């Protein structure tokens, strides 16, 4: 190796081909803007609004959007929907994010272990994955939600319990395909332990698919939270979430349709945002799309 090659500047990650491919993907950029915008609105918005999300004003019940300072109108108790929406967004986004974190960790560990060890342990682990996938996730989620104390942390945990299988499947397949490569052999020759090979040698090589799956899992987790909260078994009022804001909306559909429209649009935007980003990441990380 020549001195010139050694002193050559390290390539900056933000100039890499992957990043360029990602930033050139219009839909992915729409996703990034959606998620940044929603996050900003939910975490900064409450400080800019003149209303508190718990402030009840019975004289201002069912005010349509645009009444005075109520940009999204008010609910049956006269609470400001915008204030509630942003507060709810904090809960929904955080539940989605942490559920993703938990399920990605569990899925990755199961996938790496099953993929590398193989044999009866690997087979058994993957059959458990298959078994979990046989349950419609909403059925399992509701059954669990009815049996535990529905605090935001518990809801996050049970969403993770029903969402780790996709990651596990993807990681298992990737690891299994890498298991007999030369660099793994070399690591084994060097006397690295199984754990070191699995998590220091193999894991960094499957990080791309994990990131893609994790992004899509956030979208899925936000949707699942919305489903069970809508049905009354998720986040409990007075703590607002996008799902439980829709819980009472059906009975007022005729009188106050904005009660249903506003939170639903927020959910769709957040979920679509993460789906767009995940799809863009998949294209950007896929070496095959290089040829285009």
Partner 1 sequence: MIRYLLLRFWQSIVLLFIVSLIGFMVLNLAPGGPLSQYTLTPGMTKEALDRIAEQMGLNRPLPIQYLDWLWNMVQGDWGNSYRDGRPVLEVINRHLFATLLLMGSSTLISVVIGTWIGIRSALRAGTVFDYATTVAAMVALSIPTFWFGLIAIYTFSLWLGWLPAGNMYTVGNGSLGDYAIHLIMPSMVLALVNVAVWSRYMRSATLDVMSQDFVRTAKAKGLAPRRVLMKHIVGNALVPMITLAGLQLPTLLGGALVTETVFTWPGMGRLFLDGLGYNDYPVVMGLLMFSAILVLVGNLAADLLVALVDPRIRLD
Contact residues for partner 1, defined by CB under 8 A: 27, 127-128, 130-140, 142-144, 146-148, 219, 223, 226-227, 230-231, 233, 246, 249-250, 253-254, 257, 260-261, 264, 267-268, 271-272, 275-276, 279
Q: Which is nearer to partner 1, 87 or 137 (CB)?
A: 137
Q: Which is nearer to partner 1, 46 or 107 (CB)?
A: 107
Query: What string of H, E and C letters represents the secondary structure of 73-115?
Result: CECCCCCEHHHHHHHHHHHHHHHHHHHHHHHHHHHHHHHHHHH
Phi, psi for residue 70 in degrees, rounded to 5: -80, 90
Taking the C-alpha atoms of residue 265 and residue 249, their distance in angstroms, rounded to an integer, is 14
Closest approach, Cβ 190 to partner 1, in A, equals 36
Q: Which is nearer to partner 1, 211 or 261 (CB)?
A: 261
Closest approach, Cβ 257 to partner 1, in A, equals 5
Sort residue 16 into left (φ over 0), alpha (ψ -120 to 50) or beta: beta
Q: How many CA atoms lie within 13 A of 131 on its CB side?
A: 6
Closest approach, Cβ 262 to partner 1, in A, equals 11
Strand partners, 67: 70
Closest approach, Cβ 7 to partner 1, in A, equals 44
Closest approach, Cβ 164 to partner 1, in A, equals 13
Q: Which is nearer to partner 1, 198 or 249 (CB)?
A: 249
User: 200: which DSSP letter?
Assistant: I
Closest approach, Cβ 135 to partner 1, in A, equals 5
Closest approach, Cβ 272 to partner 1, in A, equals 4
Strand partners, 80: 74
Helices (H), the chain: 3-7, 17-24, 26-48, 81-117, 119-134, 137-147, 152-161, 165-178, 182-189, 194-196, 207-230, 242-245, 258-285
Q: Which is nearer to partner 1, 153 or 185 (CB)?
A: 153
- Angle CA(110)–CA(115)–CA(116) in degrees, nearest 5? 105
Q: Which is nearer to partner 1, 147 or 183 (CB)?
A: 147
Taking the C-alpha atoms of residue 223 and residue 267, their distance in angstroms, rounded to an integer, is 7
Q: Which is nearer to partner 1, 135 or 183 (CB)?
A: 135
Under DSSP, is residue 70 helix (H, G, I), strand (E, B) or coil? strand
Strand partners, 70: 67
């Amino acid at each position: 190796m020549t001195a010139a090659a050694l002193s050559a500047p390290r390539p900056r990650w933000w100039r890499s081909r992957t990043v360029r491919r990602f930033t050139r993907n219009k839909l992915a950029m729409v996703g990034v803007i959606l998620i940044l915008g929603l996050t900003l609105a939910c975490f900064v918005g409450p400080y800019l609004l003149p209303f508190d999300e718990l402030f009840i004003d019975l004289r201002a019940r069912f005010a349509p959007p645009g009444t005075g300072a109520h940009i999204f109108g008010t609910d049956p108790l006269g609470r400001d929907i915008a204030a509630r929406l942003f507060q709810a967004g904090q809960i929904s986004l955080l539940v989605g994010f942490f559920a993703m974190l938990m399920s990605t960790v569990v899925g990755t560990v199961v996938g790496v272990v099953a993929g590398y060890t193989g044999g009866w342990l690997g087979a058994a682990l993957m059959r458990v994955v298959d078994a979990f996938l046989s349950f419609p996730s909403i059925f399992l989620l509701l059954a669990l939600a009815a049996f535990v104390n529905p605090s935001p942390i518990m809801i996050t945990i049970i969403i993770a319990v029903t969402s780790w299988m996709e990651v596990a499947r993807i990681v298992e397949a990737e690891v299994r395909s890498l298991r007999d490569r030369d660099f793994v052999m070399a690591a084994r020759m060097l006397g690295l332990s199984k754990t070191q090979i699995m998590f220091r040698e193999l894991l960094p090589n499957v990080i791309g698919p994990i990131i893609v799956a994790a992004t899509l899992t956030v979208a899925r987790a936000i949707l699942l939270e919305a489903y069970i909260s809508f049905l009354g078994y998720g986040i409990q009022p007075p703590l607002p979430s996008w799902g439980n804001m829709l819980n009472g909306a059906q009975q007022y559909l005729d009188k106050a349709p904005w009660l249903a429209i506003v939170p639903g649009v927020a959910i769709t935007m957040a979920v679509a945002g993460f789906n767009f980003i995940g799809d863009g990441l998949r294209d950007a990380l896929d070496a095959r799309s290089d040829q285009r």
